[in-house]
A = this chain, B = another copy of it.
Amino acid sequence: MNIRDIANLAGVGVSTVSRVINNKPDVNKETREKVLEVIKETKFVPNNNARNLKKNETNSIGVLVKGVFNPFFTEMIDVISKEISRSSYTMILQHHDYSKKSEIDNLISFIKDKKLQGLICLGGNFIDVNDELFEKVKIPVVLTSVNTTYDRRHINFSTVGIENDKASYISTSYLISIGHRNIAIIIGDVNDYGISGLRMKGYIEALRDNNIPYNKNYVSVGNYNSEGAYNATIELLKKFKEITAIFAISDVMAIGCAKAASDMGLEIGKDISIIGFDGMDVSKFYVPAITTTVQPKEEMAKVSINLLIKLINKEESHKHILLNTYLVKRQSCSKLKILNNKF
């Protein structure tokens, strides 16, 4: 039962029903009574959000997803989609690839084309955005899982995420603490300044704080998928036999990395230590289970969509939320017994 059904039953136009519901003038007494009677009979409850809609506004929330297929984001999309289905909004999903094109321009054209009421961006290179840029954006935007360099001084947009650099620092420090010094890193995408960039930063800082020289040859790109990480690992291990640990910045890449090591005759968690990121199910159910940083995916998705809906309804102002992560130590990492000759 919606406003159109009421209009049909009352034999009037949708705008008349709308005027009655919102107590607007210019409806004659008889018509008004007729509409109210139908509303009463049908037990119709006017939708609050719909009532707040101005003419020509839709009730659509956009979700803009960055990068190639990433199961981490798709699990979040799943949660966001269910939350949106429960509300009176419609979810419009759009993907775009990594590119150097301005994220803000992307975002504004998406909002305009689809007449959005609010937008969540999953991932993306928002490293240099500021309040001025967001002044051009007329609707609430929540940047989720982009990066963590924003704070309450930024009042024109919201962010929900984790401390990527800190989490990555902890992962790398853990590998160092169990004796590894020749630690390779497999990042997602060279153009991914947000997530890959911040995780690289944490990795480099942990090395530096432990007086381990940063070796750029130990950095490889896995394109956020298992196949890419598999190929990157084969190449790394062939070229640099001294590598004893690999930090893949996503679990999907970590399994490609583990498979490659296994195919090269190395025993995972013994001959080579592997660490992932994200806390995907696959890290838990792999044999051996893979050490990883667990991100609160579901919470991140729920916090983002609930904040966005409150922003749309003007019940909340923009904020920057950091969620906690934790390192889960599993069998894929072990103490380095024989220190590498090089050191």
Contacts and interface: CB of A to CB of B under 8 A. Distances in A.
A230 B78 contact: no
Contacts of A286: 255, 259, 286-287
Contacts of A114: 90
A75 interface: yes
Contact of A82 (B77, B81, B95): B95
A302 interface: no
A91 interface: yes
Q: Is the interface of A mostly helix, strand, loop or mixed?
A: helix
Interface stretch (A144-152, A173-181, A237-245, A277-285): A277-285
A85 interface: yes
A211 interface: no
Contacts of A271: none
Contact of A71 (B74, B113, B262, B268): B74
Interface residues of A, number: 38
B74 A78 contact: yes
Nearest to A255: B285
A256 interface: yes
Contact of A78 (B2, B85, B95, B281): B95
Contacts of A2: 113
A169 B285 CA distance: 27
Interface string A266-298: 001000000000000110111101000000000
A94 B69 CA distance: 19
A93 interface: yes
A78 B94 CA distance: 9
Contacts of A258: 285, 287
A159 interface: no
A68 to B, nearest CB: 8
Given A71-B71, A286-B255, A287-B287, A92 B92 contact: yes
A290 B259 CA distance: 12
B230 A259 contact: no
Given A92-B92, A255-B286, A281-B227, A75 B69 contact: yes
A262 to B, nearest CB: 5
Given A226-B285, A227-B281, A91 B94 contact: yes
